[in-house]
Structure 1
Amino acid sequence: MNNQSLYILVVEDQHNIAQNISDYMENKGHVLDFATQGDQGLELALTNHYDLVILDLNLPVIDGLEVCKQLRKQANHHVPVIMLTARDSIEDKISGFTLGADDYLTKPFSLEELEVRCLALSRRYLLQTNHSLTFDQLIIDRKSQQVTRAGTPLELHSMGYRILSILAEAYPQVVSRSKLSQKLWGDEPTESDALRSHIYQLRNVLDKPFDYPMIKTMHGIGFVLNVKSDIKNDEK
C-alpha cells in the first residue's frame, strides 16, 4: 500500500525501462513526467518543483552526470536525485555522488526497491525542512520534541522519543535491531535486554491506549513504523 504520492521526473532514453517505471509507479499513485534527452530533463527539472528526479546516466545530448552537475549549479533548491546506470564500478558511483547524486541504483533493478528508495529519499529531505511530521494519527514536533497521537499528548522518555524519531526518519524502511542499537548507543556496549525494555515502554505509551499499534515488529529483521493512511508533512 502506497502511503505517499510523489511528483517524479524520469529522465530515461530507453522506452521499455521508462514504460516499466511508469506502469509501476503510477499504479502506486505517483505522478510522473518524462524526458528522453539530458537537456530536456534538465529544463524540466529547473522549471518544475519535483519531489525527486530518477536520472539515467547514459543519455543523448547531455549525459546524466552533466545533468546532475548543472542541476546542482542552477536550481534554487535541492532536488533529490536517484541515478540509474548499467555501470556498477566504484569509480562511476563516486563520480555520481561527487556531482550531487543522492542515491544510486544499478540496472537491472527491482521496481519495488526503486519506489522504496524514492519514498525514503523524499522523506529524508522533508525531514531536513519540516519541523512537524504527521503519520496518520501521529504528530512529531521535532522543534519542541513533543509527540501527540489522535490529539493526545504522549509522555515519552527521551529514549522513547529517540527510537520513534529513528523509525520516522527511516520510514517506510525497516530498521534492524543492530542499526537501532548503534544509533542509540553507538559503539558503547549495553545490556542485551535494554532495547527490548525501551521498545516495551514506548509501546505502552504510543500503542496500548489506541486502536492499532504503530510500532510493528518484523520478526528476525527489526522494526518499522506502521502507518494506516496517507502521510502528510507540514512545514511550520
Structure 2
Amino acid sequence: MRILIIEDDTAIAANLYDYLAGAGYEPEHAADGVTGMHRAANEEWSAILLDVALPGMDGFTLCRRLREQARRDTPVLMLTAKDTLDDKLAGFGHGADDYLVKPFSLKEVQARLAALVKRSTSQVVPNVLRHGDISLDPGTLAVERAGRAIRLPRKCLHLLQLLMASPGRVQRRAELEIAVWGETLPDSDTLRAHIHTLRRALTAEGEPNPIETVHGIGYRMGRSDAP
C-alpha cells in the first residue's frame, strides 16, 4: 500500500518512513504543503499522513482542497501537536478521517492506517475497471474480454482487480501476496501459479498477454492500445 507522508519535521518523517517501510508499506515523503497537495491530488495513495503546521500550505487547507477541488477521497490521518477539541473538530471539518496527537506511537499510526484503509475499501463501490478490451465489474465480479465472459478463481479475480486498479504501476510480489492472502503468506510459487492461471484465461482465444512480469520485482498491467 502506498502511503504519502506530508510532514516538514525531517526526524518525524524519517521515523514514519522507516517504520512503515519495515512493515511492508510503500511510503513516500513530501516536506511542504504545496508539494504534498500536488502529489496527493495527482497520484494514487492508499492513505495520507498529514501534518497541520506545514510550510507553503497548512494541513487544514490542503485537506479541504483535496476534498473540494481535487475531488479525492483518499483516507487522511492528521498528525499534529494541536490537541484541543476545537483543533480536532477543525481537522474533521476540513475532511480528515482521523486525528492523532503528537507525540504518538508508531504502532498506533500503523493500526489507524490499517483501519482507515480497510474502512475505505469496504465502503467504496467502484466503477467497472477497464484495460483495453478487458473489463471487471467489482460489484458482480464479472470479467469480460472483447465481450467474451471469463470465469476465474476468486484469488485470480482479486489479483486482476489489484492490477487493473493501477494500470502501468509495478506491484511488488510481497504487496500482492499480502493483499490477496493476508498474514498467511503462500509459498514462493503460489503467486506465480495464480498469475499463470490468470494469463491463460485472459489469452484463451489468442489475445495478447496483458500482464507483464517485472523480473525480480513483481507484475503490472502492460500498455493498452485499445480505446
TM-score by length of 1: 0.54
Given the alignment of the two structures, is residue 54 of structure 1 paired with residue 49 of structure 2, yes or no? yes
> Counterparts of 1:79 and 1:126 in 2: how far apart (Å)?
10
> Counterparts of 1:8 and 1:99 in 2: how far apart (Å)?
20
Larger RCO of the pair (alpha carbons < 8 Å, separation 6+):
1
Q: What is the one-letter code of the residue matched to 2:82? A: R
Q: What is the one-letter code of the residue matched to 1:89? A: T
* Percent identity for Structure 1 against Structure 2: 39
For residue 77 of structure 2, the aligned residue among 79, 82, 101 is 82
For residue 36 of structure 2, the aligned residue among 32, 41, 48 is 41
Does the 8 A contact of 1:46 with 1:74 survive in 2? no
> Counterparts of 1:79 and 1:92 in 2: how far apart (Å)?
21
> Counterparts of 2:105 and 2:44 in 1: how far apart (Å)?
26
TM-score by length of 2: 0.56
Does the 8 A contact of 2:63 with 2:94 survive in 1? yes
Residue 31 of structure 1 corresponds to which residue in structure 2? Answer: 26
Given the alignment of the two structures, is residue 65 of structure 1 paired with residue 76 of structure 2, yes or no? no
Residue 122 of structure 1 corresponds to which residue in structure 2? Answer: 117
Given the alignment of the two structures, is residue 106 of structure 1 paired with residue 62 of structure 2, yes or no? no
TM superposition shift of 1:32 = 1.1
Given the alignment of the two structures, is residue 22 of structure 1 paired with residue 17 of structure 2, yes or no? yes
Residue 228 of structure 1 corresponds to which residue in structure 2? Answer: 184
Q: What is the one-letter code of the residue matched to 1:98? A: G
Residue 162 of structure 1 corresponds to which residue in structure 2? Answer: none
For residue 8 of structure 2, the aligned residue among 9, 13, 17 is 13
TM superposition shift of 1:113 = 0.6
Deviations 1:122-147 (A, max 9, x none): 0001001259xxxxxxxxx998xxxx
Q: What is the one-letter code of the residue matched to 1:107? A: K
Does the 8 A contact of 2:81 with 2:101 survive in 1? yes
The count of corresponding residues between Structure 1 and Structure 2 is 137
Does the 8 A contact of 2:47 with 2:76 survive in 1? yes
> Counterparts of 1:106 and 1:30 in 2: how far apart (Å)?
22
Does the 8 A contact of 2:8 with 2:54 survive in 1? yes
> Counterparts of 1:19 and 1:45 in 2: how far apart (Å)?
19
RMSD value, Cα:
2.4
Q: What is the one-letter code of the residue matched to 2:94? A: L
Deviations 1:200-220 (A, max 9, x none): xxxxxxxxxxxxxxxxxxxxx
- Which is further off, 97-106 or 72-81? 72-81
Does the 8 A contact of 1:9 with 1:54 survive in 2? yes
